[in-house]
Amino acid sequence: MLLARLADGASFRFWRFASDFDTVAANHGAAAGERKIEQTDLSLLQVNGRVTVPPVFYADYAAFYCTDFDAATGTREGWIRIYKYSTQMYQLELVYEDKVVASETSAEYARYSLVKLGADGFLFKAAGAPTIYRYAIDTAYVGPGGAAW
């Protein structure tokens, strides 16, 4: 997946490259829709919140860490948002989100860790917090209150 981040900071233009890129590119018109390199009318993704840590990709999944301001409570919150490429919509769609940092006070986002474990999912750790969370590649995601370790 190739993402181009737009000037608003939350929108992405994306192109999906399959492992058989050469084959698809050579006969793009005949390729199945979900394997096309670009769907010009649907290739815009807007991620909720402010993307503060570089996203991580594995297969059809993408993990974002974003911060949101909760106007009701007056606090800034940190969210893990998992997107999956839909072969029906030809689009990344939000499949899971988790408020992993209830009160986000850090600005040292370079110290945040977001890595992938392949089929075992993603690991996330906030700066200054001892807990590492794993988000599985499944509908059964785990996070705070789940299998934190």
Partner 1 sequence: MPADAARCAAVTGAALATKAACQAVITAAADAVSGTTKACTYTYAASAGTLAGATGTANKANFIMQQVSEDPASYDLATIPKIYGWMAEKGDSGTGSPSFFRLKWTLAGETLQAEDITVVPAKYRIAMKPELVSFGRNYVAIVSPIDCAATNPVGSLAGQRQTASAPYRWSRPDTRRDVANPSIRYFKLGTRP
User: What residue ranges bind partner 1 (CB under 8 A)?
Assistant: 19, 56, 58-59, 110-111, 113, 115-118, 120, 123, 125, 127-132, 134, 147, 149
Compare residues 74 and 130 and give the one whose CB is closer to partner 1: 130
* Minimum distance, C-beta of residue 144 to partner 1, in the bound complex (Å): 13
* Residue type at 100 in one-letter notation: V
Tell me the closest approach of the beta carbon of residue 74 to partner 1, in angstroms: 25
CB of 128 to partner 1, least distance (A): 5
Q: Please answer whether residues 103 and 76 qualify as being in contact, where contact means their C-beta atoms are separated by less than 8 angstroms.
A: yes
The β-bridge partners of 125 are: 113, 132
> Which residue in 32, 47, 46, 37 sits closest to 17, CA to CA?
37
Enclosing H/E stretch for 24 = helix 21-26
In the bound state with partner 1, the residue whose beta carbon lies nearer, of 11 and 84, is 84
